[in-house]
Amino acid sequence: MSSGQVRRLRLRRLMAWWVILKVSLEERLVYRGDFMLGTLMRFLPIITQIFLWNAVFQAAGRGSISGYQFADVVAYYLLTMISRAFSSMPGLASGIATQIRTGEVKKFLVQPIDMLGFLLAGRIAHKLAYYSVAIVPFALVFYLCRGYFAEVPPLEVFIAYVLSLIMGFLLGFFLESCIGLIGFWFLEVSSLLFVYMLLSFFLSGHMFPLDLLPPPWSWVVDFLPLKYVAYFPAAVYLGKVPRDQLGMELAIEAAWIVAFAVIGRIMWRRGVRRYSGYGG
């Protein structure tokens, strides 16, 4: 294949990606009212968390718990809300398993479209649509709660924070894709997905800062990838991660992304080999 043919092939692939992204974005914006209402409703749990932790601090009778003051906790939950907005993949795993069970996955076997690449483009479109709607309420909430943030982090810390959010999105995508691809071996993955969501809620830092966990649970959490989908970006912004460890932590997160991406590819190839193609 000549260099010109290679360039044309790459250009066609980029155009295909752009078309998929554009169509997916248009699909996300069809039901704008429902999408906007669902986006706004996601801000309500933060109110209950603030009242809950206010009661905890009052009951403890202390101004600080494990290095967290009440203002730090509020800032932490606001930041984890952003982290989860990047890393959460509602319906991804169950959607993949459903396509396998119903036979809809056959379209990726007869068309020159990579399934994981197609789904990734769709999720990017979903996040773009989500933040185009949520940017105003996010800005309003953070403006009203600006007193809970001590200061803006240094530039290198802020860059690390942005990188952790982007990698959190990729980690969440590939991790849940692997769960969905288990559908090639087990037709129903809802129970497994429920267990994953339960563990993720507790071990990702979404419910409470992972700093509060005592050994040996804190050691266990450090060896799991779940902390990178919620806790880690917030901890980076708040300065809970020492600067000399930022590079290493980001490298570990990148390694988890590569690992789940490779595992997903292996599962897809082996799953297709045993797939029988029943259903619609």
Above 70 in pLDDT, residue 177?
Answer: yes
pLDDT in tens, 9-34: 566 666 666 666 666 666 655 555 55
**Alpha-carbon dihedral sign for residues 166, 169, 172, 177:** negative
**What's residue 203's pLDDT?**
87
**pLDDT (mean) for 128-153:** 75
**What's residue 30's pLDDT?**
57
CA distance 55 to 49: 10
- Answer whether 0.75 is exceeded by the pTM: yes
pLDDT in tens, 32-74: 555 566 656 666 667 777 777 778 777 777 767 777 788 888 8
End-to-end CA distance of the chain: 38
CA distance 118 to 69: 44
**pLDDT (mean) for 239-251:** 90
**What's residue 19's pLDDT?**
65
